[in-house]
């Protein structure tokens, strides 16, 4: 846990350093229109939900694509997460989900939703940039 905190602090320091640099404004990627779809796979086990973690060096903004998810209590879902050019997390504290995705990496993990509610998804290093989403379990 301490190692993860140190890594996240180091990432934040690097991101702040880069953000405060003298970057050429013409070289900065322009934000693109992000899909606003909600993922709601069929009930059952083994559903795969693909989530892209966008960033400034890739698609031009810090967002989850998609950023809203709907599941049913008891549903087991496999997430397939990919990251563009930076380290991201897919963190849902209330559900005990905390996955780290490296630049250009794709990971998978499975989670069974055992209780109803609305839960915030965050990317820890990019939370200050508004990289959040929502999981609704009914």
Instruction: Please name which of 60, 111, 116, 113 lies closest in space to residue 90, comparing C-alpha atoms.
Output: 111
Q: Residues 56, 84, 18, 25: is their CA dihedral positive or negative?
A: negative
Written as six digits, the tokens of 51 are 């989530």
Using CA atoms, how far residue 61 sits from 30, 52, 102, 130, in Å, is 8, 12, 17, 10
Query: Residue 28: is its pLDDT beyond 60?
Result: no
Share of the chain above pLDDT 70, in %: 67
Query: Residue 34: is its pLDDT beyond 80?
Result: no
pLDDT band at 11 (very low <50, low <70, confident <90, very high): low
Identify whether the C-beta of residue 77 lies closer than 8 Å to the C-beta of residue 111. Answer: yes
Q: Cα–Cα distance between 75 and 47 in angstroms, integer?
A: 9
What digits encode the pLDDT tens for the residues 92-133? 999 999 999 999 999 999 999 999 999 999 999 999 999 999
Query: Residue 44: is its pLDDT beyond 70?
Result: no
Choose the weakest-confidence range: 9-18, 63-72, 86-95, 104-113.
9-18
Per the model's pLDDT, the better-predicted residue between 106 and 47 turns out to be: 106
Query: Residue 31: is its pLDDT beyond 80?
Result: no
Query: Residue 38: is its pLDDT beyond 50?
Result: no
């Amino acid at each position: 846990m301490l190692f993860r905190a140190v890594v996240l602090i180091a990432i934040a320091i690097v991101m702040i350093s880069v953000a405060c640099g003298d970057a050429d404004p013409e070289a900065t990627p322009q934000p693109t229109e992000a899909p606003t779809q909600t993922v709601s796979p069929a009930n059952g086990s083994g559903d795969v939900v693909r989530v892209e973690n966008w960033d400034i060096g890739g698609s031009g903004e810090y967002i989850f694509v998609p950023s809203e998810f709907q599941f049913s209590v008891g549903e087991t879902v496999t997430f397939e997460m990919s990251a563009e050019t930076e380290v991201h997390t897919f963190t849902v504290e209330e559900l005990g989900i905390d996955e780290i995705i490296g630049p250009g990496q794709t990971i998978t993990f499975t989670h069974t939703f055992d209780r109803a509610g609305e839960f915030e998804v965050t990317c820890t290093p990019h939370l200050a940039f508004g990289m959040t989403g929502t999981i609704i379990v009914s």
